[in-house]
A and B are shown apart, each in its own frame.
Chain A
């Protein structure tokens, strides 16, 4: 399957009168990769992810997932982790599992329960009784328990401790399948860079760099975190 899992052609998005959140953004992403979406605050990372998830519509340009325009068909194969959790605080964790099972054909409830048990999450508790970090874990587990082709993770490790970060990264790695791509937006580059195949830097809604992580190490003798600090030096 050589069809890119994601293709953006001259994609732009503006919110009303203000500047463009995405400005003529073009990229094609291959399958079977873990790709970092990296950029300073306000660079357009979340806008891009929300466009791919179908929560926003482009102002201009084209956006294709698996060759299809955004719609029901693409949502079926895209698993999206938003920045903030959207579950009803009164829901028990177990109910959120059933909720996902109802919504998504490709959801594996057993896998989700096993992962939540690994993480020591009591599935009888209500969402509002969980700490911020635990809520994030629940959300991530649900998203990663889908058998999707494109995972969009918006700041998946922002609110959790380093040990949980490792578990989450291992979860991403162990869920790897050669047909699916994981797009991770984060500013915690040093934590994720060892699992990235490729990365892109975006700034002011435009693509600054798109390369393979090991290419950069090979050619520049630098890690991604170091390169980021250089490119985006304030």
Chain B
């Protein structure tokens, strides 16, 4: 699937975020060889230089390691992956908390609501449901 980008945020940061998420979610496992810069660039339809820069960032974080000419691999270090997972979660919760506060929810209410949705839905389902309710509203 093509990657989509927000044009107001540096593309290399978004590409790094995407690859980081894929590692954290287990799409690429510990020690696994990653696709090449060129392959990523084609999948994402972006410039190889941008992927290169994203890899630079992930290497700094220790999430990705270069092994000479063999290519790039996911780290073998579990603590690095765990740290990346926590950092992504923290970021998501920060955004969620800010939005819920804006809507006037208390932390308890927000937590209750979150819990009631747990395991019921995935982001794509939400979009589909919204589309369906729009359609039914039209008819």
Contacts and interface: CB of A to CB of B under 8 A. Distances in A.
Interface string A162-187: 00001001100110100000000000
B48 interface: yes
Contact of A214 (B2, B38, B48, B50): B50
A213 B11 contact: yes
A193 B46 CA distance: 9
A223 B9 CA distance: 7
Interface string A192-230: 011111000000000000000110011001111110000
Interface string B31-51: 000000010011001111110
A166 B45 contact: yes
A59 interface: no
B42 A173 contact: yes
Contacts of B10: 214, 217-218
Interface residues of B, number: 19
A226 B7 contact: yes
A146 interface: no
Interface size class of A (residues with CB under 8 A): 20 to 34
B107 to A, nearest CB: 29
A218 B13 CA distance: 9
B9 A196 contact: no
A54 interface: no
A137 interface: no
B47 to A, nearest CB: 5
Nearest to A214: B10
The main secondary structure of chain A at its interface with chain B is helix
A170 B50 CA distance: 14
B96 interface: no
B11 A194 contact: yes
Contacts of B5: 194
Interface in B1-37: 2, 5, 7-13
A33 interface: yes
B8 A195 contact: no
A32 interface: yes
B45 A169 contact: yes
Contacts of A197: 47, 49-50
Contacts of B11: 194, 213-214, 217
Interface of A: 32-34, 166, 169-170, 173-174, 176, 190, 193-197, 213-214, 217-218, 221-226
Interface of B: 2, 5, 7-13, 38, 41-42, 45-50, 53
Nearest first, the 6 A-B pairs at minimum CB distance are A223-B7, A214-B10, A217-B10, A218-B10, A195-B47, A176-B48
26 contacts: A33-B49, A34-B49, A166-B2, A166-B45, A169-B45, A170-B42, A173-B41, A173-B46, A176-B41, A194-B5, A194-B7, A194-B11, A194-B47, A196-B47, A197-B47, A197-B49, A197-B50, A214-B10, A214-B12, A217-B10, A218-B10, A222-B8, A223-B8, A224-B7, A225-B7, A226-B7
